[in-house]
Amino acid sequence: MGFFLEVLIGGLMTGMLYSLVALGFVLIFKASGVFNFAQGAMVLFAALAMARFSEWIPGWLGIANPVVANILAFIIAAFIMFLVAWLIERLVLRHLVNQEGATLLMATLGIAYFIDGLGQTVFGSDIYKIDVGMPKEPVMVLQDVFAGGLLINKEDFIAALVAALLVAALALFFQKTSTGRALRAVADDHQAAQSIGIPLNRIWVIVWTVAGIVALVAGIIWGSKMGVQFSLVTVALRALPVVILGGLTSVPGAIIGGLIIGVGEKMSEVYLGPLVGGGIEIWFAYMLALVFLLFRPQGLFGEKIIDRV
Amino acid sequence: MKLRKYALAVSLAAMGLSFTLTAPVHAQAKGKQAQEQFFPVLVYRTGAYAPNGTPWANGFVDYIKLVNAKGGINGVTATFEECETGYATDRSVECYERLKNKGGGATAFQSLSTGATFALTEKAPVDKIPLITAGYGRSESANGAVFTWNFPLLGTYWVGADVLIQHLAKKEGGFDKLKGKKIALVYHDSPYGKEPIALLQERAKMHGFDLSLLPVAHPGVEQKATWLQVRQNRPDYVLLWGWGVMNSTALREAQATGYPREKMYGIWWAGAEPDVKDVGEAAKGYNALTLQHGVELNAKVTKDVLALVHGKGQGTGPKDEVGSVLYMRGLISAMLGIEGVKQAQERYGKGKTMTGEQVRWGLENLDLTQQKLDGLGFAGVMRPVSTSCLDHMGSSWVRVHTWNGSKWEFSSDWYQADEKIIRPMVMHASLKYAEEKKITPRTPEQCKQ
């Protein structure tokens, strides 16, 4: 029972991190109808900026305090993500208004490759460190209840907590602020939103910036766990089944989807893996999402699209 | 419109500049065509495995530059061209096709990928180009009577797995002490990661230890489930068969699940700086095999590279990388190819360009004595390598090194794989391959030709 709970908790915490990456997809899709294939590349780019500036700043400014260096690096990286968002809007999205979804998807595919290459050219392709003071050692709890206790990974726990807080803040931003309402209006209907005076271009810059900052937080958490390197882009691939399952337009869907996928893949690997040779968690996550789609094609919380024929 | 014109102008200027810069190189190449030996270099400087592929490529290329700085291969200039594979088998095959006829014909290919080696093994005999796979590739390709064009020089994964078990037995006080022990193999779920399984299963049968297999999907960034299984099974030892990010992630997960790093042993591709440097103190005590060499900052060849290549502003990568584990692996791989050419020149004419077929003969008759190695600057780095028709591996010397929190230190004496176990496995697997592919193994007489 103790081991089952460890797998469950591990899956939930990993799932929360998947939710964070999935949120980037959902935010952009909600506001612009674009399935942003570049979300993984944005995670890598943001993490590279954070890692490199936190390394360079102490040398440039003579700052010895790592907390100050990390805060400054975070601000610079966030500003860089704003610049990325602005450039994407100016150079790509603006020219593709009212184009087919497939065209926009292909455009983000191009952006993904460009950002991947640019990030490694500007910041390097080695492994870089982000040290934000996350504890690495595990903690054992409930030793009286379970033999050997219940192992909790402190780093994963804090990361899941940060992810949960960010998700909550974004949900509030969407529901309670005027900008959030404008974002939702744009998501519902571009032309109607424009007709009542909502500036489409500005909204897109805002939403891509927010997605960039979400990518930055995800990049910091994953980068702190495994080092900042190219493999971070693959984290986004882990979030794809989450958005398939949760629905592309739903913030709660990204959260619940993330938790289901996180738990599903860990349980499958631990309990089914040994029966079929192991290494099944990646495809199992996609299979789980596809099974859900059989019953709810729009995802768990996605909007049902009804077209008049 | 203005922007488009500007972009066009910049592109044309860049093309012009690129032509201006490269034109003399082509002209020079044409003028000296008869005295050049072309080395295709399959690299991965981008993608998930770039942190490991880049130092290997830098070491490889720097050694070619060093040879040229010292007068070439008996006067023949070594030329090279890189091709980016991203550690993908399909792109490796593309690179092979693109480079095989360049520069008068490729000398030998080194793909740094077991998956790519599987694919190229079919092509090499057709194109008559040797495949050097120093420390990787198909283990059964050590039998040169069947795998005429493959050269898994210095060691195969069966050698690595065998030495690991020998080392664990020594720690436990004998092979009989392995009975009942639990050993887990955490491996990259690819042809590379699966290679040691056959040998480990054989050893498990012989010594009665319990072997559990835990695959990790490419690229290995998510291993929580794997390490929870390690925590549940509590193996006495974990063998790590990873590459790239998988290794550092495994060490972090071991820390997160409280598995002692001193009980972890990696193959030689899981024992370099990129695997541990960011994990730092948390990787302290972690062990890995070395393919003969380790970190070689004081070797003569390292000093030569620093003086004659980096010292003249021609270094390929950062200066402080010279002498690191994967840099040395690339450098030694290049050296083996070049020594194959030298050996071929002994038979077919010094100062001449060798064909792939001639280089194949050279590689099959390599005789790198300690004296020769010392003369090349590898004193203390390598032990002798001597190949033959039946032995395309040439040596199986291995050591163990341990991460002390800030650097690698040798922690064992030299080991050699147990031929009594490996040779029958090589023969069995290679003859099975020959049967499948309708290959008639070469006879001892044919080997002499």
Q: Above pLDDT 70, what percent of chain B?
A: 92
Residue B13 pLDDT? 47
Cβ of B233 under 8 Å from any chain A Cβ? no
Count of domains forming chain A:
1
User: For residue A155, which residues of chain B lie inside 8 Å, CB to CB?
Assistant: 256
Model pLDDT for residues B365-420, shown as the tens digit of each residue? 999 999 999 999 999 999 999 999 999 999 999 999 999 999 999 999 999 999 99
How many angstroms separate the CA atoms of A193 and B95, rounded? Answer: 51
CB neighbourhood size of A36 (10 A): 28
Whole-number mean pLDDT of chain B? Answer: 91
Residue B234 pLDDT? 92
Phi (first) and psi of residue B247, to 5 degrees: -70, -50
Are B100 and B129 a contacting pair, CB within 8 Å? yes
SS3 (DSSP) at A12? helix
Closest-CA residue to B40 (of B314, B306, B386, B333): B333
**Domain-located, residue A10:** yes
Residue A299's contacts (CB-CB under 8 Å, 6 or more residues apart) are A243, A244, A245, A246, A247, A248, A250, A253, A257, A292, A293
**Domain-located, residue A304:** no
Q: How many CB pairs under 8 A join A and B?
A: 111
CA atoms within 13 A on the CB side of B351: 1
Question: What stretches of B218-354 adopt beta strand conformation (E)?
Answer: 237-241, 264-266, 287-290
Residues in chain B: 449
- The yes-or-no verdict on residue B22 having pLDDT over 60 is no
Residue A172 pLDDT? 85
Evaluated on CA atoms A275, A281, A287, A289, the torsion sign reads positive
pLDDT band at B299 (very low <50, low <70, confident <90, very high): very high
**Domain-located, residue A9:** yes
Distances (CA, A) of A259 to A15, A254, B34: 4, 9, 65
**Domain-located, residue A262:** yes
Cβ of A39 under 8 Å from any chain B Cβ? no
Are B402 and B286 a contacting pair, CB within 8 Å? yes
Closest-CA residue to B282 (of A135, A29, A36, A16): A135
Cross-strand pairs, B183: B211, B237
Residue B92 pLDDT? 96
What is the chain B residue with the closest CA to A284? B217
User: For residue B274, which residues of chain A lie inside 8 Å, CB to CB?
Assistant: 126-127
**Domain-located, residue A71:** yes
User: For residue B260, which residues of chain A lie inside 8 Å, CB to CB?
Assistant: none
pLDDT band at B34 (very low <50, low <70, confident <90, very high): low
Pairing of strands A138-141, A150-153: antiparallel
Are A93 and A32 a contacting pair, CB within 8 Å? yes
- The yes-or-no verdict on residue B29 having pLDDT over 80 is no
Pairing of strands B237-241, B367-368: unpaired
Residue A248 pLDDT? 82
How many angstroms separate the CA atoms of B101 and B128, rounded? Answer: 11
Which segments in chain A show pLDDT lower than 70?
A: 303-309
Residue A238 pLDDT? 81
Are B159 and B134 a contacting pair, CB within 8 Å? no
Cβ of A21 under 8 Å from any chain B Cβ? no
CB neighbourhood size of B67 (10 A): 23
Residue A206's contacts (CB-CB under 8 Å, 6 or more residues apart) are A179, A183
Evaluated on CA atoms A69, A75, A77, A80, the torsion sign reads negative
**Domain-located, residue A87:** yes
- The yes-or-no verdict on residue B24 having pLDDT over 60 is no
- The yes-or-no verdict on residue B8 having pLDDT over 80 is no
Residue B27 pLDDT? 37
Distances (CA, A) of A239 to A255, A260, A268: 11, 12, 17
Cβ of A258 under 8 Å from any chain B Cβ? no
SS3 (DSSP) at B299? coil
Model pLDDT for residues B137-191, shown as the tens digit of each residue? 999 999 999 999 999 999 999 999 999 999 999 999 999 999 999 999 999 999 8
How many angstroms separate the CA atoms of B433 and A50, rounded? Answer: 51
Cβ of A226 under 8 Å from any chain B Cβ? yes
Closest-CA residue to B177 (of B213, B199, B203, B209): B209
Phi (first) and psi of residue A128, to 5 degrees: -115, 155
Best residue of B1, B224, B241 to probe chain A, by most A CBs closer than 10 Å:
B224
Taking phi first (over 0 means left), then psi (-120 to 50 degrees means alpha), and beta for anything else, what does residue B71 get?
Answer: left
How many angstroms separate the CA atoms of A298 and A305, rounded? Answer: 8
Residue B398's contacts (CB-CB under 8 Å, 6 or more residues apart) are B155, B159, B160, B163, B268, B289, B290, B291, B292, B414, B415, B416, B417
Q: Please report the DSSP string for B59-109 in residue order.
A: HHHHHHHHHHHTTTBTTBEEEEEEEE-TT-HHHHHHHHHHHTTGGGSBS-B
**Domain-located, residue A273:** yes
User: For residue A152, which residues of chain B lie inside 8 Å, CB to CB?
Assistant: none
Residue B1 pLDDT? 42
Are B104 and B64 a contacting pair, CB within 8 Å? no
Largest CA distance in chain A: 66
**Domain-located, residue A231:** yes
Residue A81's contacts (CB-CB under 8 Å, 6 or more residues apart) are A42, A45, A46, A49, A209, A212, A213, A215, A216
Distances (CA, A) of B122 to B116, B400, B439: 11, 34, 12
What is the chain A residue with the closest CA to B212? A274
Cβ of A151 under 8 Å from any chain B Cβ? yes
CA atoms within 13 A on the CB side of B303: 8
Cross-strand pairs, B43: B84
Largest CA distance in chain B: 79
How many angstroms separate the CA atoms of B135 and B333, rounded? Answer: 9
Its domain, for residue A259, covers 2-295
Residue A307 pLDDT? 63
Which one has a higher pLDDT value, B279 or B411? B411
Domains for chain B: give ranges and CATH numbers. Answer: 34-156+295-395+427-448 (3.40.50.2300), 158-294+400-419 (3.40.50.2300)
Cβ of B284 under 8 Å from any chain A Cβ? no
- The yes-or-no verdict on residue B275 having pLDDT over 70 is yes
Which range (A167-181, B50-64, B170-184, B197-211) has the least confidence?
Answer: A167-181
Q: Please report the DSSP string for A225-252 in residue order.
A: HH-BSTTHHHHHHHHHHHHHHH-TT-HH
User: For residue A120, which residues of chain B lie inside 8 Å, CB to CB?
Assistant: 46, 50
Best residue of A12, A44, A229, A286 to probe chain B, by most B CBs closer than 10 Å:
A229
Taking phi first (over 0 means left), then psi (-120 to 50 degrees means alpha), and beta for anything else, what does residue B233 get?
Answer: alpha
Residue A187 pLDDT? 73
How many angstroms separate the CA atoms of B131 and B117, rounded? Answer: 8
Model pLDDT for residues B251-264, shown as the tens digit of each residue? 999 998 889 999 99
DSSP B36: E
- What is this structure's pTM? 0.85
How many angstroms separate the CA atoms of A271 and A287, rounded? Answer: 16
Place of tokens 């003399």: B24
Phi (first) and psi of residue A151, to 5 degrees: -85, 125
CA atoms within 13 A on the CB side of A15: 25
DSSP A272: I
- ipTM > 0.85 (yes/no): no
CATH of the domain at A80: 1.10.3470
Residue B194's contacts (CB-CB under 8 Å, 6 or more residues apart) are B187
